[in-house]
């Protein structure tokens, strides 16, 4: 777990956001030909980016999106509208360029990386493909165990999943990536996410459990019961985030914890996707208090647990478009907003340059 | 006013959205490798685009943004945080490429057109410029009269402003534009917009009046009083939208009415910007009932009247980013979301193509 400890220590060493860089960014925004603050959330983002990077006008190119993927033992109990083999099928679809995230990543000019932590079944693409998606293996094991009967994985495996995420973040940082979006693929993973959210926020399973990608009311009721059972069986301690991850989490959720920590440690702003990524961010913030201001909540999903998790993180989402797909689709759309904010920051004229009068 | 009547008649002839095209678009979305409906608002947009165009998968390129600009007599009373000369200064800034909308239009690959209906002062750019912004003159008069003492303009002038917008929409349609965003520039125009909103929705001025681009509480109180006085002096009849526009509206608001009508008549989806554009859309929908489903609400602004206007239009905004700049900035950001939705529609693999299993 030493890579985890190192990443946590690196985030802690950064301390709070850089106030001087934020003040410089805010002053620059105020000099641009628009009423002060009139670009609302876009201006907030520009100031936050400065605080994260420690410079007034950090670039957000190149951008990368990492989709962490793994399978879940609990999926065999029908907690998803889709069968477990869809995880591997969708990873192959990512690699072949056929998924929603392929289109959205291309639309914002972001590199797409698929990180396999433990997908059951073959994950190489079906044949030659024109898609420029990179598959990185961080395989720990073939999916998790059923959390309704025991822990998802061992503590070491949870640490290894986090370390795999830290490694990918470090590699992207070394290659100069300046904006990271993160998402996930794993049939059954809203169940794991709801279990984590329930343990870490103290809300009962019923409050943080939704329909996932398309359960009916009966399916949701079974899901809530299984989450409650996973808590009884594993008795995870909310003061031990790594233990919670090992007990009721998922391999891809662990990797997301590491991606968030690793990117934050490298001063790279991280745009979060939906509910599952949100729970990973919550684990990461419980491991490294002070991390949250380095995160940008991309999209609030309709999953009832997501609003609760975002509240705990103290983050307001940029978008609410009723997406419930995952794959970093919400993150990618929000990254487009971040890029637009930076375009404005870098491209607009100042009042002086343009000969525009200030306030009356 | 015959161009107005013709545009209204053309919209009425279209009737409701094309159900067959919408069903085809929905069926296509359901075949793509994602849970049905999991792309939320993006899927709604794709279906709406089909219904508007009358074809299952209409393109949204080329895209154009029109910013209608004019001055307001009421601005001399200090209803804005900025002096009236800023309207002309900002139009020159648009033409020189220095404004926020220049950056956002470039970011989504949209042509930018500035339509001058009555800006006071010179509007040609200060010199040679590399910006590719087109200035179109639809000048009616040098700004409106003070609505606190009489009508903003004559009924004929209001009709002419609408006709100028219809003409620009027709020209863009003839050149093949398939997605239109509309915005405005005019110091003092939230006062006119609040007056229109108050008359057409029946809400008192206080409920539909906000801080504009940066008033303080005292400034807002004066603004509310002037709006109330404009209603007493002019006694606009809410059943006569053209009369309301002439009495308490603005030249650029009239042009926006025409742009919305003209684009809708040409089956071009129109992405609305903020509060002022919203009131223009309300006038247009009162002139041509059945128009609203052809509009996409891009962004909800913090102006309290905007939520009321959107409610009356029956439109839900795609974005809420606390923008209060105008210039079509909210529309441009939402057009990026529309483009992303279309990318997904056109680029994703189907379950069959990708060999992905359907629901369990």
| CA atoms of B203 and A99, how far apart (whole Å) | 47
When CB atoms are compared, the residue of A78, A213, A354 closest to B98 is A354
Taking residues B324-334, what's their average pLDDT? 98
Question: How far apart are the CA of B290 and the nearest CA of chain A, in angstroms?
Answer: 25
Specify the pLDDT at position A131: 62
Nearest residue on chain B to A83, judged by CA atoms?
Answer: B360
Q: Token pair for residue B4?
A: 């107005």
The residue annotated as part of the active site, out of B43, B184, B303, B327, is B327
Query: In this complex, do A319 and B319 lie within 8 Å of one another by their Cβ atoms?
Result: yes
Say yes or no for a CB contact (<8 Å) between A343 and B83. no
**Average pLDDT estimate for B183-193:** 98
Confidence of residue B343 (pLDDT cuts 50, 70, 90): very high
Q: Which residues in chain B touch residue A32, judged by CB atoms under 8 angstroms apart?
A: 100
pLDDT tens-digit series, residues B238-262 = 999 999 999 999 999 999 999 999 9
DSSP A319: B
- A-B CB pairs within 8 A amount to 192
Sorted by sequence, the CB contacts under 8 Å of residue A323 that are 6+ apart come out as A274, A299, A301, A329, A330, A333, B38, B39, B40, B41, B42
- The pairing of strands B295-297 and B270-272 is parallel
Nearest residue of B to residue A332, measured between CA atoms:
B340
Give the three-state DSSP class for B196: helix
Contact B214 A35 (CB under 8 A): yes
CA B141 – CA B162 distance, rounded (Å): 14
pLDDT tens readout for residues B62-73: 999 999 999 999
Q: Note whether B354 contacts A320, CB cutoff 8 Å.
A: no
A339 with B107: Cβ contact below 8 A:
yes
pLDDT at position B128 is 58
Can you give the pLDDT at residue A132? Answer: 83
Cα distance between residue B163 and residue B297, in whole Å: 23
Which residues of chain B have a CB within 8 Å of the CB of A97? Answer: 349
Residue to mutate among B90, B189, B325, with most A CBs inside 10 A, is B325
Tell me the pLDDT tens digit for each residue of B277-312.
Answer: 999 999 999 999 999 999 999 999 999 999 999 999
With beta carbons under 8 A apart, name residues in chain A contacting B320.
320
Segment B194-219 mean pLDDT: 95
CB-based burial label for A279 (10 Å; 0-12, 13-18, 19+): buried
d(CA B335, CA B110): 9
pLDDT recorded at residue B160: 97
User: What residue in A sits closest to B84 (Cα-Cα)?
Assistant: A360
Structure confidence by residue, pLDDT tens digits, A267-322: 999 999 999 999 999 999 999 999 999 999 999 999 999 999 999 999 999 999 99
CB contact under 8 A, B42 and A104: no
Tally: H helices and E strands in chain B: 14, 6
Dump the DSSP string for A224-274.
Answer: HHHHHHHHHHH---TT-HHHHHHHH--HHHHHHHHHHHHHHHTT--EEE-S
The Cα of B321 is separated from the nearest Cα of chain A by a number of Å equal to: 5
Q: Which of A43, A184, A303, A327 is catalytic?
A: A327
Contact A201, A309 (CB under 8 A): yes
Tell me which residue of B267, B341, B265, B266 sits closest to B298, measured CA to CA. B341
- pLDDT (0 to 100) of residue B213: 85
The predicted structure's pLDDT at residue A360: 73
| C-beta separation of A50 from A25 below 8 A | yes
Which residue of A347, A351, A358 to mutate against B (max B Cβ within 10 Å)?
A347
Chain A contact probe: residue of B29, B31, B32, B42 with most A CBs at under 10 A: B42
Q: Please give the pLDDT value at position A310.
A: 98
Intervals of chain A under pLDDT 70: 1, 125-131
Which residues does chain B have within 8 Å of residue A332's beta carbon, measured at their own beta carbons?
Answer: 340
For residue A232, the model assigns a pLDDT of 98
Rg (CA), chain A: 20
ipTM value: 0.96
pLDDT greater than 60 at residue B338:
yes
With bands split at pLDDT 50, 70 and 90, how would you rate the model's confidence at B131? low
CB contact under 8 Å between B39 and A323, yes or no, is: yes
Q: Which is nearest to A234 in space by CA: A140, A155, A305? A: A155
The band of B314, judged by pLDDT with boundaries at 50, 70 and 90, is: very high
Asked if A33's CB is within 8 angstroms of B98's CB, the reply is yes
**Residue A1's CB: how many other CB atoms inside 10 A?**
14
Q: What share of chain A is helix, strand, coil (3-state, %, to 5)?
A: 55, 10, 35
B327 classed as catalytic: yes
Whole-number pLDDT of residue A124: 80
Residue A40 is nearest to which of B322, B339, B355, comparing CB atoms? B322
Residues A169 and A32: their CA atoms lie apart, in Å, by: 34
pLDDT at B130 over 60: no
Q: Is residue B229's pLDDT more than 80?
A: yes
Residue B47: is its pLDDT beyond 80? yes
pLDDT of B203 > 90? The answer is yes
Of A99, A320, A340, the CB nearest to B336: A340
Query: Cβ contact (<8 Å) for B340 and A339?
Result: no
Look at residue B360 in the predicted model and tell me its pLDDT.
73
């Amino acid at each position: 777990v030493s890579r985890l400890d190192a990443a946590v220590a690196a985030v802690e060493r950064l301390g709070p956001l850089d106030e001087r860089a934020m003040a410089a960014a805010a002053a620059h925004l105020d000099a641009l030909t628009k009423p002060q603050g009139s670009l609302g959330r876009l201006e907030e983002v520009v100031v936050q980016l400065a605080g994260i990077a420690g410079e007034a006008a950090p670039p957000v190119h190149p951008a990368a999106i990492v989709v962490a993927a793994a399978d879940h033992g609990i999926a065999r109990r029908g907690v998803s509208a889709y069968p477990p083999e869809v995880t591997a099928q969708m990873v192959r679809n990512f690699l072949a360029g056929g998924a929603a995230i392929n289109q959205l990543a291309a639309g914002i000019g972001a590199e797409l990386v698929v990180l396999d932590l433990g997908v059951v079944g073959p994950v190489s693409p079906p044949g030659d493909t024109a898609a420029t998606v990179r598959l990185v293996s961080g395989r720990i094991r073939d999916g998790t165990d059923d959390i309704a009967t025991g822990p998802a994985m061992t503590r070491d495996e949870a640490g290894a999943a986090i370390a795999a995420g830290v490694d990918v973040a470090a590699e992207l940082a070394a290659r100069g990536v300046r904006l990271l979006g993160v998402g996930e693929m794993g049939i059954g993973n809203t169940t794991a996410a709801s279990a984590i959210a329930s343990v870490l926020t103290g809300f009962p399973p019923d409050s943080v459990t939704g329909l996932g990608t398309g359960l009916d009311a009966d399916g949701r009721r079974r899901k809530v019961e299984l989450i409650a059972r996973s808590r009884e069986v594993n008795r995870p301690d909310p003061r031990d985030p790594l233990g919670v991850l090992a007990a009721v989490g998922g391999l891809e959720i662990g990797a997301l914890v590491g991606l968030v920590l690793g990117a934050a440690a490298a001063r790279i702003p991280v745009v979060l996707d939906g509910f599952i990524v949100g729970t990973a961010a919550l684990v990461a913030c419980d491991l490294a208090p002070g991390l949250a201001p380095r995160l940008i909540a991309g999209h609030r999903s309709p999953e009832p647990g997501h609003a609760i998790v975002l509240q705990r993180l103290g983050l307001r989402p940029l978008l609410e478009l009723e997406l419930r797909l995952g794959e970093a689709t919400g993150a990618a759309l929000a990254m487009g907003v971040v890029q637009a904010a930076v375009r404005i920051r870098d491209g607009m004229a100042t009042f002086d340059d343009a000969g525009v009068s200030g306030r009356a």
